[in-house]
Amino acid sequence: MRRFTPFAFAILLATFFAPPAGAADDDNVYPVAVRWWGQAMISIENWWGLTVVIDPYSLEIGYNDPGVDADFVCVSHEHFDHNNVGLIAGDPFVIRGLENGAVESFATTTEDRADGASRHTTHIDTIASFHDDKRGADLGANAMFLVETEGVRILHCGDLGQHALTKEQLEQIGEIDVLCVPVGGVYTVDGPQAVAIVEQIHPRIVVPIHYKTRALTISLDPVEPFLAALPDKYEVVRPVGNTLAVSAGGGPTRENPRVVVLNYRPWEMPAGLADLFGAKEAASKKSQETFRALRTDQLNHKPSNGTHTPRWNSEHMLGTESLFFSSMYARLDPAIRPINLRPAQMPPDYVAAHPDWDGEQEADQMQRVEDFSRRFAYLLDGAPLDELPEGAPRFAGDLRGLFNLMINHYGEHTAHVHEKYELEDWPE
């Protein structure tokens, strides 16, 4: 897991989280995954592999260990059902919204070039609030976390107890895409009070958190009073698992907002589909092993026999999977748009997306595509393996055929790279 060194109130993320400025994938819209694990624990994952976890719970409250690792963990306040940092693997950097009773502000920025010309940026900011409606007299302070990544703004309210936000808080919050708001009462706002908060913020999507479920041992209200108090303009949906796809490029609007009641249990992939994903990912891993060993000059080498550079083979493989799967997912969820990373087909027309990347970076990009395909695979829930979902290439025949196509594609193009090693002009 990556380690990050804080300085002042900014944290510089590792350079491999984003491509160089001006790269060919600038125009793509990358969806962000928002996952609810129970109580107030939310994880946020972006395309580049950055994961932020907010308010990890103690296992004493009834939920299982989700087996999550992260780069950053945010703690809204020091109650045991919100501050179990040790639950999260990966040696993350911890941001405690409350420090000695005062709320501090942080900003986290992803730099993609040494000269500071950053393009993909993730910010994490805290906004001061109260755990009760008495300016903290009973339950103290609470930090709300505002996470912005890939153009998506997500507000996690922690254990918000205020019945109304102040003008200053609303100015700090601004326009929000996803609002994670507690609705269970007792220690926070209850259902109708949470609706009042929602109406102040006007987000595109609302994710209720911190309410009574079958697993939870703490006495809270269920989600139903919140849902009953919602105005008619809110569409209420219940996905199959605990994951929501959100992007700056599509989905609900502030005029037609949506409440997404997530399941705290992740979607379980059916055995047949899991086998296909496993075989595809094994093929991808073999390709990654080949490319990780290559230097930049080897990736850019133009063979004397007129075939493509090895870099083209890498970009072609990962670009094909990202386009096929994103196009299929886009038909199932408008928050996901087709992601086109495929290079030009003919050698004279090919321009490398990342000519300065070495083999490690190329392999990392292949892994990002693999993670994307699995991250949103819940959209395939119930899809028959002997049929082809809309958006998938028709020549694949059916869903099994699509996976077999990807498996063979990785094997074929990786073999082509190995053949280049035998050429007289291959750079050793």
In this prediction, the residues of the chain whose per-residue pLDDT falls under 50 are 1-24, 100-103, 110-118
Domain 271-420 part of CATH 3.40.50.300: no
Which ranges in the chain are annotated with CATH 3.60.15.10? 6-260
Q: Which residue has tokens 């624990």?
A: 41
Cβ-based burial of 173 (10 A; exposed 0-12, middle 13-18, buried ≥19): buried
Q: Tell me phi and psi for residue 88, to 5 degrees.
A: -95, 125
Alpha-carbon distance 375 to 336, whole Å? Answer: 12
Nearest 5°: the CA angle 361, 362, 366 is 115
- Given a contact cutoff of 8 angstroms between Cβ atoms, the answer to whether 192 and 245 are in contact is no
Q: Where are any strands of DSSP class E within 232-282?
A: 235-237, 243-246, 258-260
- Given a contact cutoff of 8 angstroms between Cβ atoms, the answer to whether 419 and 300 are in contact is no
The pLDDT, as a whole number, for residue 120 is: 65
Q: What is the CA radius of gyration of the chain?
A: 23
Q: Where are any strands of DSSP class E within 114-251?
A: 123-130, 141-149, 152-156, 178-182, 205-209, 235-237, 243-246
Give the burial string for 193-214 (b: 16+ CB within 10 Å, else e).
bbbebbeebebbbbbbbbbbbe
Alpha-carbon distance 237 to 223, whole Å? Answer: 13
Residues 7-21 have pLDDT tens digits of 322 332 322 233 333
- Given a contact cutoff of 8 angstroms between Cβ atoms, the answer to whether 112 and 18 are in contact is yes
- Given a contact cutoff of 8 angstroms between Cβ atoms, the answer to whether 154 and 124 are in contact is no
Alpha-carbon distance 388 to 409, whole Å? Answer: 18
Per the structure block, which two tokens stand in for 378? 């819940």
- Given a contact cutoff of 8 angstroms between Cβ atoms, the answer to whether 405 and 281 are in contact is no
The pLDDT, as a whole number, for residue 94 is: 93
Element spanning 37, H or E: strand 32-38
Cα 5 to Cα 108, 110, 120, 125, 327, distances in angstroms: 11, 13, 19, 17, 38
Alpha-carbon distance 350 to 135, whole Å? Answer: 61
- Given a contact cutoff of 8 angstroms between Cβ atoms, the answer to whether 111 and 92 are in contact is no
Per CATH, the architecture of 6-260 is what? 4-Layer Sandwich (3.60)
H helices of 202-309, where? 224-229, 271-292, 296-299
Which ranges in the chain are annotated with CATH 1.20.120.450? 271-420
Residue type for position 148: E
- Given a contact cutoff of 8 angstroms between Cβ atoms, the answer to whether 339 and 371 are in contact is no
The pLDDT, as a whole number, for residue 119 is: 52
pTM equals 0.91
The contacts of residue 346 (CB under 8 Å, 6+ apart) are none
Question: What does the CA dihedral 93, 94, 95, 100 come to, rounded to 10 degrees?
Answer: -140
Look at strands 243-246 and 32-38 and give their pairing. antiparallel
One DSSP character per residue, 60-120 reads GGSPPP---B-SEEEESS--TTT--GGGSBS-PEEEESEETTEE---EEEE--STTS---S
